[in-house]
Structure 1
């Protein structure tokens, strides 16, 4: 199978998964439908299904437009709030699209109905893939909008963390540089973090995506998958893995806020109309 990585909006990814023999295709989180349809046409494939990780607009807003354009389109997801949903799936459910197999992995926390999709092709030696939405990112994990640290720990260690190590990770956003800057704060001596951050910056300079990573690589530099490492525990002041994760996510939230904080004089300029928001 062939995976087309499509950058949309400010930093989102949507994906087109193509079965090369039949030329049938599956879309993952098609937030910008007209862009997807342009690529479908260019690739000469037939869009048969949509897999939606969660209901947030920047992942699901294109579903209804696609169903209007392709009435027989099947839209899968694990949350009734997903726009255009035609087939609700459950944890462990397996879907079959010709030679492409999909296992639905329920990963509630970022949203209460979040679903990841593990995908492989029959009689193919290529590595499998997992589409993780806003649960697992390159170098990071999603925010706990509708869930708990206990849920995210289960998602990362017992669901995604037990997949084959060569699994390719296709996430929902290009957050890699931000995530690795935080990872370097957590583990300043981690050479893999330094190497990956330098690589990600070079990719950004060339306007190229950093996805996919692999699960094996994530275990080497993603602090949210390194909860038992001495350096991560020292940073958080905790040893229980769930508490380590809880503190890590809180620190990451604050780290993000510090980076995005607008200076007072800039806020005044915005109020006076001197700057565009």
Structure 2
């Protein structure tokens, strides 16, 4: 089986676009569609034909380019069932546990709702990668626009239960601001401080901090560690989702 190729590129103000290509079949999927023109331009530069779109959730900077890309390419669109009423052009809806294919490569759909009610991630275990949209960021997580704290915490537990070597592709370059809050939330964490220094160095050279490896987040991302006794002592909450809620509220106003 051929190795998947990932083409990552900036678009809009702080989004990342992803084209995922299987050389054996020639299939290419867009992970979300924040900017239709840029996706079509980048695919043309690579010489790839877009055959699919995999949406993670309904927000316009994730699904807003669906119709234009489908009109230009005839691609098929897979989207989360829970957000389907707000997403254009869908050919197939999926939910937690469903499988999607790109050539011979299989992605497992994971419920990561909380940012929106239907948010999903696509995990390709054979390639040690997952596309997580706005559910998890490097040193952060998405705002809780639609879901509840218990729901979002359960979603983060599903993400952190993936193999630690999994490479996570999120949708935005938010890492520098996330690092500032993480240091505020967990100031004694030496691994976090080293990570934050690396992030500052990368951003000073305008280098991306995405993708990132789950294993490092398990030790440094406060939102994935809301059941850690030290964070619970600092932020309160008898149950992890309560600590998570306190952290999320603090980040919202940080």
TM-score class normalised by the smaller sequence: over 0.9
Specify the alignment match of 2:102 in structure 1: 97
Question: Is contact 1:94–1:102 with CA below 8 Å preserved after alignment?
Answer: yes
Specify the alignment match of 1:166 in structure 2: 165
Q: Which moved more, 1:162-171 or 1:237-246?
A: 237-246
Q: Give distance in 2, aligned partners of 1:209 and 1:29.
A: 19
Specify the alignment match of 2:150 in structure 1: 150
Kindly name which structure, 1 or 2, has the bigger radius of gyration based on alpha carbons.
1
Specify the alignment match of 2:70 in structure 1: 67
Q: Give distance in 2, aligned partners of 1:20 and 1:231.
A: 47
Does 2:90 align with 1:85? yes
Specify the alignment match of 2:136 in structure 1: 136
Query: 1:98-146 CA distances to partner (integer Å, 9 max, x unpaired)?
Result: 121111112221111111111244xxxxx41111111111101111111
Question: Is contact 2:236–2:242 with CA below 8 Å preserved after alignment?
Answer: no
Q: 1:42 aligns with which of 35, 40, 45?
A: 45
Does 2:203 align with 1:211? no
Q: Give distance in 2, aligned partners of 1:21 and 1:143.
A: 38
The secondary structure found in structure 1 opposite 2:50 is strand
* Gapped regions of structure 1 (runs ≥ 5): 122-126, 256-277
1:111-122 equivalent positions in 2, closer than 5 A: 111-121=116-126
The secondary structure found in structure 1 opposite 2:118 is coil
Q: Give distance in 1, aligned partners of 2:239 and 2:94.
A: 33
State how many pairs are aligned. Answer: 248
Does 2:11 align with 1:8? yes
Question: Is contact 2:49–2:73 with CA below 8 Å preserved after alignment?
Answer: no
Shift of residue 13, structure 1, vs aligned partner: 1.4
Q: Give distance in 2, aligned partners of 1:226 and 1:204.
A: 25
Query: 1:151-201 CA distances to partner (integer Å, 9 max, x unpaired)?
Result: 0111011x2121111111101111111111111011111112111111111
Question: Is contact 1:30–1:60 with CA below 8 Å preserved after alignment?
Answer: yes
- With structure 2 as the length reference, what TM-score do the two structures score? 0.93
The secondary structure found in structure 2 opposite 1:46 is coil
* Gapped regions of structure 2 (runs ≥ 5): none
Specify the alignment match of 2:78 in structure 1: 76
Q: Give distance in 1, aligned partners of 2:33 and 2:234.
A: 38
Specify the alignment match of 2:179 in structure 1: 180
